[in-house]
Amino acid sequence: MPPSSDTGQNAANIRLEGVSHRFGQTDVISDVSLDIADGEFVALLGPSGCGKSTLLRILAGLQEQTIGRVLIGERCVDGLPPRTRGVGIVFQNYALFPHMTALANVAYGLEAVGISRAEALVRARDALAGVQMTPFGERKPRALSGGQQQRVALARTLAIGPRILLLDEPLAALDKNLRLDMQLEIRRLQRALRITTVMVTHDQEEAMGMADRIAVLNAGCVEQFDTPEAIYDRPETLFVANFVGAANMLEAELQGGPEGFRLHLADGTLDLAKPAPASRPGRVQASIRPEHWSVAPADGEGPTATVSIVTPLGPSALVDLVLSDGRPCRFSFPRAQGVHLTPGDQIRLGLQPGAAIRLFV
Amino acid sequence: MSRTTTWLTAPLCLYFVGFVGIPLLLIFFISLHDTPAMTGIGIKGYIRFFSDAYNRGVLLDTLLLGVETTVIDILLGFPVAYLYVAAPRWRRFLMFMVLLPLLTSTVVRTFAWVVILGNHGLINTLLAQAGLIGTPLRLLYTPGAVAVAMAQIELPLMILPLITAIGGIDAHIIEASHVLGAGRWRTLRRIVLPLCVPGLLTGTLLVFTGAVSALVTQTLVGGGQLAFMPFYIYQQAIQAQDYPFAACVAIVLLMTILLIVSILNALGRRSAGYVHG
Ligand SMILES: Nc1ncnc2c1ncn2[C@@H]1O[C@H](COP(=O)(O)OP(=O)(O)OP(=O)(O)O)[C@@H](O)[C@H]1O
Ligand SMILES: [Mg+2]
């Protein structure tokens, strides 16, 4: 496979400056600014309809943003057509040319940039080999499985050596095992080529597992742009806390005292070392992940709850609880701990030492 | 299919058997008579048709007319269909213009061409007034005039299937072509054109069969000297009162059309196979 354009003088970092887009009267993208480094793998994560595809299409030049600037390698690309931007895009439905063989699909882009047919075919074979598709070169797309079509689409895009790879939900149509395989495959290729990549997904595990950084989008706005760990451990907004991973959202009253902070729930109290991001005493929403809880001694101060369902999930167990005010709550713990809970048990909850629970106003 | 739905098609089946099937068999039976008086069973009529160069000429001229009409309609229809799909804001207007000919009667449309192409018609008057010609050009009653008039009348039947075919191409496929570095022209030639071959074949089928069998337009725009198969049938049956030979000509035309339709259908199935996975 031909290497992506040389690094260094041809750095492919991406900068979005205050990009907004409206379709008619509706704002689809609102003031998005992102800085993506050369060779970085960024996932755009968000619920359906939040504008992920639109943002990707703006990057590709398939859509012109209403306001703002797009820079690739420090050069403003506004108004430039897709083919002069050095981007490659893989669509969710692959968009392979149905009347051409896999090989011809891959060779198409090479011929389009003026490479002779013979040379294009040689390079296309290399590109197909790069995604383990050599035996399928002569097949038409309809005679390929979803995963194979996916590989051909990837090879077709990478064959022209784009500086930037854009992926719009590339794995959404694949079943779970294949999806995991392709996640590894894409990550491997991306690392090998050191190609700046932006991938749209609404699957948080996919984003977590593949991306260097994740931009969480909600209703056209970037809620948080950070590493997967930070997104999970330190969500900046209520939306991110809710959207990424499971979290119990509990109404609480935060009190600050000389010996630390205390969180008053409906029927119990939790001690906090350092509340964040909201830290002013008053009413807050506490986001407590299931693994943050622990079973506390019966005479503790934490909230009490009744066990309703225990679900063993391999190495950990997930417990559905009902708090004493009647609200549901989830708790998970490593099964190796030897805790035994059965439905109907009354337990008192406490926090795991160092649990980073997040507070929002 | 359930029994009920099978029975629901019964009226249509009866209609076809009664008004298409039986008359066709009847014509075929009549064509197997050797004399105008319907005596003697045999294939003398067919032998007579193919042994006479004039008759073969009429058949070839008719097929040529079909081909010319189809080619003109592809050349005129493709850009219109492409524009229709590419420019949504023009759609209402374009569709109105495309359908307009279908909403007027064939006779009216044909006379319009007579008025345009006649010796004292629109074109000759304009050219004469501009001082470009002294005597009127002979436009009407020429094979070219028939093809042009026919093409205008059959045009919607080419444009409508092409619109369906071009409109059915996934927009992402076109975008993929552009992002891969292909310009508009390459995308049109390598992606759009091949993908609308099924629509092109459907349009060809409709236009060709329409053109070779359009008695009124062929006769009014072509005049007496140009003979095409449908008028030849009419002439033999009504003027010469030779029903068996008229039936022969009809069966020859029918079989030729059937042959061409089957070839187009076979091509169509193959192209549909690679276009729609
Ligand atoms: N061409 C268009 N005209 C008008 N509205 C559009 C157009 N394309 C998208 N939209 C709207 O813009 C919003 C964002 O669309 P977009 O396709 O970017 O969402 P998405 O985040 O990719 O969603 P999904 O995960 O479902 O693909 C949606 O509300 C959609 O209805
Ligand atoms: Mg989308």
Tell me the DSSP string of A91-138.
-TT----TTS-HHHHHHHHHHHTT--HHHHHHHHHHHHHHTT-GGGTT
The CA A58 to ligand 2 mean position distance, Å, reads: 13
Tokens of A189: 């290729």
The CA A89 to ligand 2 mean position distance, Å, reads: 13
pLDDT for position B103: 87
The yes-or-no verdict on residue B267 having pLDDT over 90 is no
ipTM score assigned to the predicted complex: 0.82
User: CB A83 to CB B191 under 8 A?
Assistant: no
Nearest to A269 by CA among A241, A300, A243: A300
- What is the atom index within ligand 1 of the atom nearest the CA of A202? 25
Nearest to A166 by CA among A77, A47, A85, A68: A85
**Single pTM value for the model:** 0.83
| A318 & A185 share domain | no
Q: Reduce the DSSP state of residue A1 to 3 states and report it.
A: coil
* Minimum CA distance residue for ligand 1 atom 23: A49
A206, A168 contact by CB (below 8 A): no
Give CA–CA dist A186/A151, Å, rounded: 9
- What is the atom index within ligand 1 of the atom nearest the CA of A200? 22
pLDDT for position A211: 95
Residue A256, domain member (yes or no): yes
| A222 & A86 share domain | yes
- Compare CB distances from B178 to A83, A157, A160 and report the shortest one's residue: A83
Range of A128's domain?
A: 14-238
Q: In chain A, where do the E strands start and end? A: 14-23, 26-36, 41-45, 67-72, 75-76, 87-90, 164-168, 196-201, 213-218, 221-226, 248-257, 260-265, 268-272, 282-288, 293-296, 304-313, 316-323, 328-334, 346-351, 358-360
The whole-number mean pLDDT for each consecutive block of 10 residues of chain A, a chain of 361 residues, reads 45 93 93 96 94 95 95 93 92 93 96 93 94 93 91 94 93 85 90 94 91 96 95 92 90 82 86 81 90 88 91 90 90 86 90 87 85
Residue A186, domain member (yes or no): yes
Residue A7, domain member (yes or no): no
B180, B186 contact by CB (below 8 A): no
Q: Check if A258 contacts B (Cβ < 8 Å).
A: no
Q: Ligand 1: residues within 6 Å at CB?
A: A 23, 28, 46, 48-54, 202
User: CB A109 to CB B181 under 8 A?
Assistant: yes
| A280 & A229 share domain | no
Backbone angles phi, psi at A219, to 5 degrees: 50, 45
| A54 & A93 share domain | yes
Give CA–CA dist A181/A113, Å, rounded: 32
Give CA–CA dist A226/A238, Å, rounded: 15
Q: Which one of A108, A110, A163 makes the best mutation probe of the B interface by having the most chain B beta carbons within 10 Å?
A: A108
Identify the nearest ligand to the CA of A55 by its number: 1
Residues 6+ apart with CB under 8 A from A277: A234, A236, A358, A359, A360
Give CA–CA dist B191/B174, Å, rounded: 7
Burial group, residue B182, by CB count within 10 angstroms (0-12, 13-18, 19+):
buried
Residues 6+ apart with CB under 8 A from A76: A69, A70
Tokens of A81: 């057509």
| A227 & A155 share domain | yes
Residue A1, domain member (yes or no): no
Nearest CA in chain A to B189: A112
Give CA–CA dist A24/A47, Å, rounded: 22
| A64 & A47 share domain | yes
Q: Between A346 and B274, whose confidence is greater? A: A346
The yes-or-no verdict on residue B119 having pLDDT over 90 is no
Helices and strands, number each (H, E), in chain B: 16, 0
Question: What does the pLDDT average to over B157-178?
Answer: 94
Q: Check if B277 contacts A (Cβ < 8 Å).
A: yes
| A115 & A35 share domain | yes
User: CB A99 to CB B194 under 8 A?
Assistant: yes
User: CB A140 to CB B277 under 8 A?
Assistant: yes
* Minimum CA distance residue for ligand 1 atom 17: A53
The yes-or-no verdict on residue B44 having pLDDT over 80 is yes
| A84 & A184 share domain | yes
CATH number of the domain residue A92 falls in: 3.40.50.300
Q: Which helix (H) or strand (E) holds B96?
A: helix B91-103
Q: Check if A144 contacts B (Cβ < 8 Å).
A: no
Cross-strand partners of A196: A164
Q: Given the structure tokens 């010609």, which residue do they identify? A: B133
| A218 & A307 share domain | no
Residues 6+ apart with CB under 8 A from B124: B118, B133, B136, B137, B139
Residue A2, domain member (yes or no): no
The yes-or-no verdict on residue B198 having pLDDT over 60 is yes
DSSP secondary structure of A46-58? --TTSSHHHHHHH
Q: Which residues of B touch A113 (CB under 8 A)?
A: 181
Domain ends where: A182, A213, A238? A238
User: What sign does the dihedral B133-B134-B140-B143 (CA atoms) show?
Assistant: negative
Give CA–CA dist A12/A6, Å, rounded: 9
pLDDT for position B247: 95
CB count within 10 Å of CB B234 equals 14
User: CB A97 to CB B182 under 8 A?
Assistant: no
Q: Given the structure tokens 């050349």, which residue do they identify? A: B75
| A163 & A210 share domain | yes
Q: How far is CA B17 from the centre of its chain?
A: 25
Give CA–CA dist A186/A4, Å, rounded: 15
- Compare CB distances from B179 to A83, A97, A143 and report the shortest one's residue: A83
CB count within 10 Å of CB A334 equals 11
Let me know if domain B44-276 sits in CATH 1.10.1370.20. no
- A342: Cα within 13 Å, side-chain hemisphere: 0
Q: Which one of B89, B173, B179 makes the best mutation probe of the A interface by having the most chain A beta carbons within 10 Å?
A: B179
Q: Check if A81 contacts B (Cβ < 8 Å).
A: yes
Q: How many domains does chain A have?
A: 2
Size of interface A-B (CB pairs under 8 A): 71
pLDDT for position B200: 93
B66, B212 contact by CB (below 8 A): yes
Q: In B17-125, where do the E strands start and end? A: none
B163, B173 contact by CB (below 8 A): no
* Minimum CA distance residue for ligand 1 atom 18: A51
The verdict on whether omega for the bond into residue A277 sits within 30 degrees of 0, i.e. cis, is yes
| Angle between helix B53-86 and B143-167 (nearest 10) | 40
User: CB A156 to CB B180 under 8 A?
Assistant: yes
Domain ranges of chain B: 44-276
The CA A51 to ligand 2 mean position distance, Å, reads: 7
Largest CA distance in chain B: 73
Question: Which whole-number Å values give the CA distances from B153 to A194, B63, B258, in the listed order?
Answer: 60, 17, 22
Residues 185 through 224 of chain B touching chain A, CB cutoff 8 Å = 186, 190-191, 194-195
| Angle between helix B243-275 and B22-31 (nearest 10) | 130
| A42 & A121 share domain | yes
Tokens of A103: 């090989």
CB count within 10 Å of CB B138 equals 11
Domain ends where: A189, A204, A238? A238
Nearest to B13 by CA among B5, B74, A190: B5
Nearest CA in chain A to B171: A95
B110, B153 contact by CB (below 8 A): yes
- What is the atom index within ligand 1 of the atom nearest the CA of A54? 18
| A200 & A269 share domain | no
Q: Between A85 and B275, whose confidence is greater? A: A85
